[in-house]
Copies of this chain bind each other. A is one copy, B any other.
Amino acid sequence: MSEFEIRRASEDDLPAIVAMLADDPLGAARETPDDLTPYRTAYEQLAADPNQHLVVAVRDGRPVGTLQLTVVPGLSRRGSSRSIIEAVRVHSDERGNGLGTRLIEWAVEESRTLGCRLVQLTSDATRIDAHRFYERLGFEASHLGFKLQL
């Protein structure tokens, strides 16, 4: 099996990324892969913001994983920046191949390179397998994640 590469997402990757966001128990009801217009607008914002790192994992030219890494400067912890991981997805064909681990390890290493002192993410309370996964990678479920829909 060929190796995969993690690289910055381009606009051409949008259909594949949105399909992965939608192919998920929670994402299915929230995404519209048949209408990419709102995603293209958001992609332009991401591409213009130096603190945003939207990446894809590519195998044989095909995007099969994605995540978004955001660097957040801040005053807390002696002016430390932290990074936030969002929108982690692995294509259904590639689950169980260690690709999720590679993506998170990439994000942790990139956060270190970018000078962050902390990496954080939230995971829906129903995603029990994901919780075990993050704990295996050294993350600690030390916080509750609160959300308010507007």
Point out residues on A near B: beta carbons under 8 Å: 14, 17-18, 21, 27, 30-32, 38-43, 45-46, 49, 51-52, 54, 68, 70, 72-81, 84, 86-87, 108, 111-112, 116-125, 131, 134-135, 137-150
Q: Could you say which of B30, B117, B150 contacts A111, with CB atoms under 8 Å apart?
A: B150
Q: How often does this chain occur in the complex, in copies?
A: 2
Q: When chains A and B are docked, how far (Å) is the Cα of A118 from the Cα of B79?
A: 26
A148 & B138 in contact (Cβ 8 Å cutoff): yes
Q: When chains A and B are docked, how far (Å) is the Cα of A55 from the Cα of B3?
A: 46
User: Assuming A117-B149, A125-B143, what are 17 further A-B pairs, CB within 8 angstroms?
Assistant: A17-B75, A21-B75, A39-B75, A49-B73, A52-B72, A72-B86, A74-B87, A75-B87, A118-B149, A119-B147, A119-B150, A120-B146, A122-B145, A124-B142, A139-B148, A140-B147, A143-B144
